[in-house]
Chain A
Amino acid sequence: MTNATTTPKTTLRPIAPEAWETTARARAQQQGEPDWALEQRRIAAAQAKALGLPSREHELWRRIDFRTLEQGLAALDPFHAGPAAATFGDLPAGLQAVLGEDADRAGVLVQRDAGVAFERNAAELERQGVIVCSLERALTRHAELLRPRLGALIEPDYDGYAALGAAIRSGGAFVWVPDGVEAALPIRLLHGLDAAGRLAAPRSVIVLGQQARATIVEEQSSAAADGLAFHLGGTEVFLGEESKLVFATLQEWGGNVYHYSNQRARIERGAELQWIQTVLGGRMVKTNSYFDLAGPGASAYVHGFMFGDERQHFHLHTLQRHLADHCTSDLLIKGCLKDHARSVYQGLIQVAEGAQRTDAYQANRNLVLSDTARADSIPGLEILANDVRCTHGATIGSVDPEQMYYLMARGLPRNTAQRLIVEGFFTPVIDRIPLEGIREHLRQVIQRKIG
């Protein structure tokens, strides 16, 4: 169920104008992109054409409705990029506000629509040999580091959208933390969509060397706008042996944005990934996050939440893939839905043959605040080893009336009581987010959404 190519396609539905791919490639060539990367684009374009739009019967596409996007896709502009900013102060106030006052204590990269507008590595990181730059720049300056990694984890033929994203790739970040280096400052990656009508297809590559350590926060933010916009993202994360990465990906698009992203992490022997994902914005949102426990003793701790209101619709798919022995994966995804919002969590634990002593845990907890909201949970296990401990569980419920009564018996008005319960529900995830400024911001967004 995790690979689109296994699903028979009845009718091919063309995905996007062919001119996009030729234009994207011509522009990339002009910017000095190496031949191998151009060739990747060309192959991906052929695959996008061959695959077409994902079938609505496909296991991973039938619980989310991208029809409005499909109809409007060809009219989007996949090349518009916000103007480059010479200094942080030249960025739009809204984006500066997202990064906040902590921004000068971090390596920062800001993308606007389809292009990176601002890159500023911190001097301390620079001294350590930590690289934080746009993927475009990395393709000219650090091509030898990228070549074995760009496209190595996201299968180019995963589905039509993923192939399209690789063909018209626009922006994204490259982060490199050398062996043995503990990055002295956090790294902040921000993507904004300036207006409706834009399509951005960033691809990011993050590499931690052996025993390296880093904290990376990726934020996606836009003001609500009239009309479609589309974020078609891809992130590939490589954790070298015994490295440790805290990676937070926080999505807060305006209500007009369609979001589809593929996120992959490969975790080598003894390395540890702390993955935090929040989904608050967007109209239709679909993410596939795969965690490959590739070397003995690797671990992945995944904590995420989604909070939908109005007609938002989220589909989170995760895969904990245990490829080696003695690995741990521990996943908790929480969902809260109000109004007519809907969420689908679809999670799978796969344990390969020989991946003995696997310890895998998957939990999905949902809080449904209105009769018209809906949460679905589809857990799965595929276990090919015999000495493993795997558990999964899901709950879907409304706010406990006894909790409401208890809080109201202390004088809290009904909606304040509900806000506290929902905040409390999200707290275990929020507490894992590395920067207090962001934690406080998320609490405010949650409060606003509760209304």
Chain B
Amino acid sequence: MSYAPELVIKDLHVGIEGKEILKGLSLEVGKGEIHALMGPNGSGKSTLANTLMGHPKYEVTSGEILFKGESVLEMETDARARAGLFMAFQYPVAIPGVTVANFLRTALNARLAPPETNGGGAMPHKRGIAPKEFRAMLKERMGLLKMDESFAGRYLNDGFSGGEKKRAEILQMAILKPEIAIMDETDSGLDIDALRVVSDGVNALAGPAMGVLVITHYNRILNYIKPDKVHVMVDGRIQVSGGADLALKLESQGYDWVRDGQEVELS
């Protein structure tokens, strides 16, 4: 069986302000797969997520990121997103004065627009999805995430509780339908009910058309979102990869045995 993973990361080295954070990281995520990336605080998980999205602060010093077979390193953040990469932020940013509905419609229209009209940066206005159709879609996806209808009229992430922010991230994922979704600590700050709702949402969206990389440093969320593969990251590198049972081992034994440098291949 020939396997062409959607996202291929090869020997990636990334620095920020001259300090190397990712030190040769390799990872492949295919459509229809759910991967979990675990690792202690400060190991570089968010650095990886933001490097994949093209945050200007992170400098790729060597290595490669291929999305659908093509390098994204020269692509700006917005082009990567329109191509189908998505990151649910660990710390979503507030955009005062811009409603969730207005933002999502603009984002969806950008994603749906043919690539050539987006090349120059200017977006065709008043095209794309009809407002009525969009409202129906938004209502349906908000229902999936058990969000109140009034949410659509609130300003994006402005005054949102921690849980509301995380739900809003998943709502965005549900509207934009990415091909690869990276979820950076989406579980942190969620109570158990919210965690269940968010996980149900992700499970409903995940399927043969989408690959998911769940970043977390607890395995709590992995009780709800079942990963096909688990990777353990320490100090800018993936030290161990394995199946779902690896998460259980981490739970009982912590990260120290990985840190100690035992390269164990579990599967």
Contact = CB atoms under 8 A, between A and B. Distances in A.
**Of residues A414, A415, A417, which shows the largest number of chain B Cβ atoms within 10 Å of its Cβ?**
A417
A305 B100 CA distance: 23
Contacts of A408: 76-78, 81
Contacts of B77: 405, 408-409
Contact of A403 (B76, B93, B176): B93
A415 B124 CA distance: 12
A438 interface: no
Contacts of A417: 78
Interface in A375-415: 400-403, 405-415
A410 B172 contact: yes
A411 B96 contact: no
A413 B119 CA distance: 9
B118 A428 contact: no
**Main secondary structure on chain B at its contact with chain A?**
mixed
A423 B172 CA distance: 20
Contact of B78 (A411, A420, A421, A427): A411
B121 A414 contact: yes
A427 B118 CA distance: 26
A395 to B, nearest CB: 13
Contacts of A314: none
B89 interface: yes
Interface in B97-117: 97-98, 102-103, 106-107, 110-111
B176 A407 contact: no
Q: How large is the interface on A (under 10, 10 to 19, 20 to 34, 35 or more residues)?
A: 20 to 34
B242 to A, nearest CB: 30
Nearest to A420: B98
B42 to A, nearest CB: 20
A402 to B, nearest CB: 5
A424 B97 contact: yes
A421 B97 CA distance: 8
A423 B107 CA distance: 15
Given A405-B56, A410-B107, A411-B110, A426 B97 contact: yes
Given A406-B89, A413-B121, A425 B96 contact: yes
A406 B54 CA distance: 11
Contact of A421 (B76, B87, B95, B110): B95
Contacts of A421: 95, 98
Contacts of B95: 403, 406-407, 420-421, 424
A440 to B, nearest CB: 12
B129 interface: no
B110 A423 contact: no
Interface of B: 53, 55-56, 76-78, 81-82, 86-87, 89, 92-93, 95-98, 102-103, 106-107, 110-111, 118, 121-123, 125, 155, 172, 176
Given A406-B89, A415-B122, A428-B97, 16 more contacts: A401-B56, A403-B93, A410-B176, A411-B107, A411-B110, A412-B107, A412-B110, A413-B78, A415-B121, A421-B98, A424-B155, A425-B96, A426-B97, A427-B98, A427-B155, A447-B125
- Closest 10 pairs between A and B when the two form their complex, measured CB to CB: A424-B97, A427-B97, A411-B81, A424-B98, A408-B78, A411-B110, A410-B107, A408-B77, A406-B93, A413-B121
26 contacts: A406-B89, A407-B95, A408-B76, A408-B81, A409-B89, A410-B110, A410-B176, A411-B82, A412-B106, A412-B123, A413-B110, A413-B118, A413-B122, A414-B78, A414-B121, A415-B121, A415-B122, A416-B110, A416-B122, A420-B102, A420-B106, A423-B97, A424-B155, A426-B97, A427-B96, A427-B98
